[in-house]
Structure 1
C-alpha cells in the first residue's frame, strides 16, 4: 500500500482549506447550494498550481456553456419530454465527440459543457420555471469553488508547472543521451527499442504538462512555444537514433572495421554527448555549439561518394552519415531550447531544424472511437430517462445526470468500464459515510468551526488519496460525490427517504453507464494498439500513392504523436506480449523515406522513375491491405529500384533517392542479405519487419 508523503498531506490540507473557504463564503452570501462549490474545489484542485488555474478556467467556460444550453433547451421542449431527452442526449454526445478529438486539457471545456447541461437540465425538466435560478446558482457556486481552489493553490506553498516541466525535460534529455551512446555502439535490440518508445510516452507527458504553462507563475511561463519546439525535436530524435543503431549494426556485422574517418567522427560524437545534468553556463553553450560545428565537418569528411560502382556498404555508410548529421542538428537544437527555457530567454539561439524540415505539432484524431463514445453516452441517457419517466420515480433525474457524467469523465480511456465501476463503487462508499454525517453527526453541529472539525479527519485522508496517481480515482469519487451527497446548506433538514432515493438513482445511473459502455465501445489496450498501428499503415500507404508532393513535416508530426499514444499502451501489456517487440520506429522511418523517395523521383532518369513508381505502388498496396511484403515481391522491386538509381548521373536527387531506398530496405527487411546487383534477393528467405 502506498503511504502518503509530506507533499501529499500538504496538498490535502490546502484542498480542504479551499473547500471550507468556499463553503463559508457560500453560507455567508446565502448561496442555495454551497456544496457545489465544495465539490468543485476537489474536482479542480491539482498538485501543480498552474494546472489548478487552467482546469478552473476551462471549468468556468464549460459550465457557462452547459448552463446556456440547458436554459435554451429545457423551457422550449418542456412540453415534449421525448424531444427534450433527445435534445439533451445529442448535446452531451456532440460535446463529448468534440472533446475527444481535441486531446488536450482544453477538451475539459467541451466535456463539461456537455454534462453540465444534463446536471442542470434533467432536475429542471419537471419544473422549467426554475431553470434560470438553477443555472445561475450552479454557475455562481462553480466559479466560487474555482476561485477558492486557485487562491489557496497559488498562495500556500505553490508548486510550479514550469519547474516540473523543466525537470522532466532534463530527465528526458539525460535518458536520450544515454540511449544515443548505446545507439553509437550499434545496440539496436528489443530493449533499446522499448526504451526509445518509452521516451516517446515521456515526451507526450511533457507536452501535456506544458499546456498549463500559460496559467503558471514561473519564469518560463512565456516559454511555452520553446517547450513545444523542444518536444517536437525530442520526438524527432527517436527514429534518428533507431536508424543510427540499425546502420551501425549492419556495418559492424560485416566484420570489417569502420572507415577511419567515420570511426573518428563517431568517437568525437560520443565525447560531445553529455548524459549528466545539463549546464546552462553561457560559455559552455558557446563551446558546445562550436564543437557541434566541428562534428558536422568531421561527419561530412567521412561521407562516401556514391556512383554507379558504389556497393551496399557505401550506401549504408552514406545513410549513416546523414542520420549522424541529423542527430547533431537535433541535439544542438534541444540544447539551445533547453538553455532558453532555463534562462528565460524569449528567443533561443538560431535553430538548425525548422518545422517544415522536421515535424509539425499535429495530433492523431480517432473519429470512429469518438463517435462510438458519443453514441454510448446518448444511449445511456435515453435508457435512464426512459426508466425514470416510465417508473414515475420522483428522484430518478439523478440517473441520467450521472450516466452522462460517468460516460464523459472516462471516455478517453481504452476501456472505461473498470474506471466507471470503481467510480460507482466508491460513490457508494461516500453515500454510506455521508449518511453517518447526515443522520448521526450533523444534528449535533451548531456552528461552522465544529463543522470544519468533524469534516477534517475524513476529507484530509481522502485528499491524500487524490494526490497519489494510484488512488486518485477512488479519492475523487469519495470527495467530489461525497461533497454533493453531503448537501451542506445554511439549515439542516435531512430526510432519510429522500437521501436514499436520490443516491440510489445516482449510483444506478453510473452502473447503467458502465453497462452501455461495455456493450457499445469498451476495448482493451491491445485493440487500441492495433488500431493505432493500422492508422499508421494507412498514412504510409497514402504517402506512397499520392501524386502531389507529401508534406514530410506533417507526416512526421502525425506519426510521432501516434508513437506517444502507443508508448503507455505498450508498457501496459505483458512483458512477453508479441506487440511489445514490434519495431514501431521502423515504420516511421519507412514512411519518411517514402516521402523523400517520392520527392526525388521526378528528377531521376525515366527507367529509374518507372522502377520507383512500381515500388511505391507495391508499398501502398502492402500497407493498405496488410499483404506480406514477401508475397508482394517488394525485395525484388527495391533492388531493381536501387540498381536503376545507382545508374543515374550524379545529382542531389539521386543521392536522396538512394538513401531513401536504403532506409526502406533496412526498415522492411532487416534480415535481408546485402544488396548486390549480381545476386538478386530471394523473398522466401527474408524476414520482414512490416508484417
Structure 2
C-alpha cells in the first residue's frame, strides 16, 4: 500500500525519484520514533498529563518542520506515519512482532517504488526542459519563414498565449534543475513576439527596409532550425550584422522596436547602434 502511495503522490513531478527518496527516509525515521514512543515511552505514561508530555516533545518539533516550506514534506511524512504507527487506543496493547512486520513491509514497499521509478522514469527535469525549449525553437523558425502577413494579427494572440504558457512551465523546472539555459525561455518569448511584430509590419515598410527585415527573419529561421538539428549553440555573427543593418534602415517605430528587442535578446552583450535622429 505504501509503495502505491509513494508512486501516486509524486507521479506528476518531472523527477519523482528524489521525492520518493525523501519520503522513504522520513518513513524510516518515523518508524524509529514510533517504536521508541510505543515501546519505551507509553508504558511509563500512566496518566493523561504524562501522555500529553510524551507526545508534545516530538510532535511540536514535527509541527515546526511543517511550518517551514523547505521541510514541510518531511515534517508531514513524519507526523502522519509516526501517528499512524503508534495507533493510540483506549488501552495499551502494542505487539512488537506485528509492529515490526507491518512497518518493514511498508518500508520495503516504498523502496520498491523508488527502484521502479528510477527504472521507468530516469529522464527527469532536463528532458522536459529540453522538449519545451525545442518546441519554442520550432515555432520561431516556422513563424520567421511564414510570409503571409494577413494572418499575423490572429497568430500573434495565439502564439503569445502559447509561449507564455511554455514559460510558466519552464520557470519551475529551470529553478529545480539549475540549468545553464535559465534565461533562454524568456529570450525565446521576446524573439518570438519580435518576429511576429516584424511580419505584421512588413507591408508598411519600403522596399529596402523590407529586404533588410526579410534577411533578418531568414537568418533567425536558419539559426533556430540549426539549433533543432544540433548544429549551432549561439547566434551567428552574420545575424548580428543583419540586425544592425536593418535597424539603421528601418524608420517604423514598431519594426525598429522589434528589431532592437530581438537584438538584445539574442546578443545581450552586443552594442546596439545609436538611435536614428528624427527628421526635422
Query: TM-score normalized by structure 1?
Result: 0.33
Whether the 8 Å CA contact 2:194–2:261 is kept in 1: the answer is yes
Shift of 1:435: 2.1
Maintained 8 Å contact 1:555/1:592? no
Q: CA deviation at 1:464?
A: 1.8
TM-fit CA distance, 1:427: 1.0
1:602 to 197, 203, 226: 203
Deviation of 1:461 after TM superposition, in Å, equals 1.9
Shift of 1:499: 1.9
Corresponding residue for residue 427 of structure 1: 27
What residue is the counterpart of 1:590 in the other structure? 191
Over 3 Å counting, the alpha-carbon distance change for 1:532 and 1:555 in structure 2 is closer
Cα distance in 1 for partners of 2:200, 2:71 equals 51
Q: Does 1:634 align with 2:239?
A: yes
Unaligned 5+ runs, structure 1: 1-400, 677-691
2:254 paired residue number: 656
| 1:558 pairs with 2:165 | yes
Matched, 1:466 2:72: no
Q: 1:432 to 1:495 in 2, by over 3 A?
A: same
Alpha-carbon distance in 2 for matches of 1:459, 1:611: 69
Match 1:507 to one of 103, 107, 114: 107
- In the aligned structure 2, how far is the partner of 1:565 from the partner of 1:426? 24
| Contact 1:434/1:486 (8 A) holds in 2 | yes
Q: Can you give the 5+ residue segments of structure 2 that lack an aligned partner in the other structure?
A: 275-280
Aligned residue runs from structure 1 range 352-363, under 5 A: none
Instruction: Answer with 661-670 or 481-490: which moved more.
Output: 661-670
Confirm or deny: 8 A CA contact 1:417 1:514 kept in the other structure: yes
Residue 204 of structure 2 aligns to a residue whose secondary structure is coil
1:572-605 Cα distance to aligned partner (Å, 9 max, x none): 46xxxx546x566444332221121122123335
2: CA distance between counterparts of 1:666 and 1:435?
61
1:479 is displaced (CA, Å) by 1.0
Q: Deviations over 1:354-386 (max 9, x none)?
A: xxxxxxxxxxxxxxxxxxxxxxxxxxxxxxxxx
Q: Is the Cα contact below 8 Å between 1:541 and 1:623 reproduced in 2? A: yes
Counterpart of 2:277 in structure 1 is none
Partners of 2:184 and 2:196 in 1: CA distance: 20
Go from structure 1 to structure 2 and tell me whether the alpha carbon gap of 1:579 and 1:609 turns closer, same or farther (over 3 Å shift): closer
RMSD over aligned CA atoms reads 3.7
Match of 2:77 among 477, 488, 498: 477
Aligned residue-pair number: 262
The separation in 1 between residues aligned to 2:86 and 2:264, in whole angstroms, is 63
CA contact (8 A) 1:559 1:588 kept: no
Contact 1:402 1:506 in 2 (8 A): yes
CA distance in 2, matches of 1:542, 1:484: 56
**Aligned 8 A contact 1:540 1:623 in 2:** yes
Cα 1:579–1:664 change in 2 (3 A) is closer
1:342 corresponds in structure 2 to none
1:164-195 Cα deviation digits (max 9, x unpaired) = xxxxxxxxxxxxxxxxxxxxxxxxxxxxxxxx
**Structure 1 residues 477 and 527, CA gap change in structure 2 (3 angstroms):** same
> Hey, what's the Cα distance between the residues in 2 that align with 1:671 and 1:465?
44
Measured in 2, the distance between the counterparts of 1:428 and 1:559 equals 38
Give CA deviations for 1:278-336 in whole Å, capped at 9, x if unaligned. xxxxxxxxxxxxxxxxxxxxxxxxxxxxxxxxxxxxxxxxxxxxxxxxxxxxxxxxxxx
Aligned position for 1:18: none
Please report how far the alpha carbon of residue 507 of structure 1 lies from its aligned counterpart in structure 2 after TM superposition. 0.9
